[in-house]
Amino acid sequence: MKNKTLIIFLTLVLGASFITYYKTTSYKRQPLEIYIPCGMIVPFQETIKSFVKENPGANIKPSFETGSVLVRLILNKGKRPDIFVSTGATEMKNLVEKGLIDTGTLKEFGKFNLVLYTSNSNPANITNLNDLIKPEVKIITISDPRFNSVGSYAEETLRNAGIWDSIKDKLVLTDSPIQALTFVASGKAQAGIHYDTCPFDTAPEKIDSETLKVVQKIPAQYHNRIVSEIALLKEAKNKKLGAIFIQFLTNAKGQEILKKSGIESITQPASDAKTAKVKIDAYYPFNEEHKLVGDYLKTFEKKYPGKVSVRLIDFRTSDGYDEWRKTGLSCGGIIINGKSEFDIDTLDGKKTIRFLRKVDAFWSKEDFEKVIDKEINGVN
């Protein structure tokens, strides 16, 4: 009788353990679909390999395509991967504007530089941006700046170099960056602007190395900082594994893998919540109205790299709602290092600020900057 009871007890314990184990690890078995621009095949294959090694059983399904094509798959064909990766700001912005990205999870993970390239024979003898205005340069090609990041940075560069008006009639805009490379390689166009990494550095097999050459590394002052971004979609099915993957990619190990694969690491791992001195958690419904707050807060990560981490938690999502409720907030607000209320010194004396609701309602940007400064330096 005692043996029977023991067997039943052990069976129940084992069964319960198995169910608990199964439930707690089921997210790993669920596929994690990632949309990745095809120029990042090598770094992401390497990262995925390493991630799966650290998370045995993780089921990662990468889809590689031109970035703008991936955006259109999401916007027009109803595809909903768990994670979207962008080589620059444009593709991600097009999805954020449509409210499809969970902006609280958006992270930067690598940076690029631009180069001016020509065919190997370079018959117009182009050596720098200013040469593009020469009459012997008939056709310049870049990818369409409206939906390709590299194209938008190229346009910005040509404008800031002061040559846009002189060369705009020579421009042929292509659907994809790789098509622009092909036009230059085949001699159909004399020059183009592209990232310094893929395919010049990371994937030379994609172009005939004998047909293209880099003639100038474009100085960074001609364009905005070019950073690649990664984020979960709001409708992601496997948010848990997605968040772990993003964390892996942006932590030191992930950055090291990317660096080995040719993607320049960002100066400091963005928003590393473990090491940052100031942790900002913003709880809002990140719709059009509150997006500005999110964008504003994110500037602090760039202003204080490694010292400030910002998490944007959209409480319209189920996970965001649970987290928001735990804070005790009843409307949108910001928690800095666990607090939402701060005393700051003003000309009129001490003032208590509560970071609730949107900016300019109960608090101003000036107040916020003072608090962050105080949290970092201990003074205001």
Partner 1 sequence: MLNQKLIEIVDIFKCCVFTWGAITTVLPSFLLAGAIATFVPTRSVTRFLGPKSNKWFAYPIASIVGQVLPTCSCNIIPLFTSILKKGCGTGPAFTFLYAGPAINIISIVFIFKIIGPILAFWRIIGVLITSIVIGLVMSILFKDEKVGTEQCSVPTQIDSTNAVEMPKKKSSLLLFFITLFLILAIGSSIGGMNPLEQGDRFIIQKIIAILLLAGGLVFLLIKYFPKESALSWIDETWRLLKSIIPILIPSILIIGILSVFIDIRWVHQLFSAQKDALGNRIFLPTLKATFLATLFGEIMYFPILTEVVFVKAFLKLGIDIGPALGILLAGPGTSLPGFLLLYKFVGLKKVLAYFTLSLIIETIIAVTLSMYMGDYLCACLIAK
Is residue 25 part of the contact set for partner 1 (CB under 8 A)?
A: no
Do residues 114 and 194 lie in contact, with contact meaning Cβ atoms separated by under 8 Å?
yes
Binding pattern for the stretch 51-90 against partner 1, x by CB under 8 A and - elsewhere: -------------x-x-xx-xx--xx--------------
Residue closest to 340 by CA, chosen among 312, 314, 306, 363: 363
Q: Is residue 118 a contact point for partner 1 (CB under 8 A)?
A: no
Minimal distance, residue 184 CB to partner 1, in Å:
11
Is residue 49 part of the contact set for partner 1 (CB under 8 A)? no
Give the tokens for residue 222.
């001609």
Q: Is 223 exposed, middle or buried (0-12, 13-18, 19+ CB in 10 A)?
A: buried
Q: CA-to-CA distance for 84 and 62, rounded, in angstroms? A: 10
C-alpha–C-alpha distance, residues 2 and 171, integer Å = 87
Establish if 214 lies at the interface with partner 1 (CB under 8 A).
no
**Binding letters toward partner 1, positions 221-260, x by CB under 8 A:** ----------------------------------------
- Distance, CA of 219 to CA of 236 (rounded, Å): 38
Q: Which is nearer to partner 1, 66 or 216 (CB)?
A: 66
Tell me: does residue 186 bind partner 1 (CB under 8 A): yes
Nearest CA among 215, 38, 7, 12 for reference residue 122: 215
**Residues sharing a CB contact under 8 Å with residue 106, sequence separation 6 or more, in sequence order:** 92, 96, 229, 230, 231, 298, 312
| Binding flag, residue 122, partner 1 (CB under 8 A) | no
Does 140 contact partner 1 by CB under 8 A? no
Alpha carbon distance 254, 245 (integer Å): 9
Provide the residue count of the chain: 380
Binding segment for partner 1 among 139-147, 239-247, 250-258, 276-284 (CB under 8 A)?
139-147
189 counts as binding partner 1 under rule CB under 8 A: yes
Q: Are strands 191-195 and 114-119 parallel, antiparallel or unpaired?
A: antiparallel
Question: In the complex, what is the shortest distance from the CB of residue 172 to partner 1, in angstroms, rounded to a whole number?
Answer: 6
Q: Look at residue 301 and give its three-state secondary structure.
A: helix
- At 216 the three-state DSSP class reads strand
Window of 6-14, 173-181, 230-238, 372-380 that interacts with partner 1 by CB under 8 A = 173-181
Q: Write down the least CB distance from residue 169 to partner 1, Å.
A: 9
Residue 326's contacts (CB-CB under 8 Å, 6 or more residues apart) are none
Q: Which is nearer to partner 1, 206 or 374 (CB)?
A: 206
Assess 35 for contact with partner 1 (CB under 8 A): no
Among 166, 179, 247, 380, binds partner 1 (CB under 8 A): 179
List of residues contacting partner 1 (CB under 8 A) = 38, 41, 64, 66, 68-69, 71-72, 75-76, 94, 121, 139, 141, 144, 146-147, 172-176, 178-179, 182-183, 186-189, 205-208
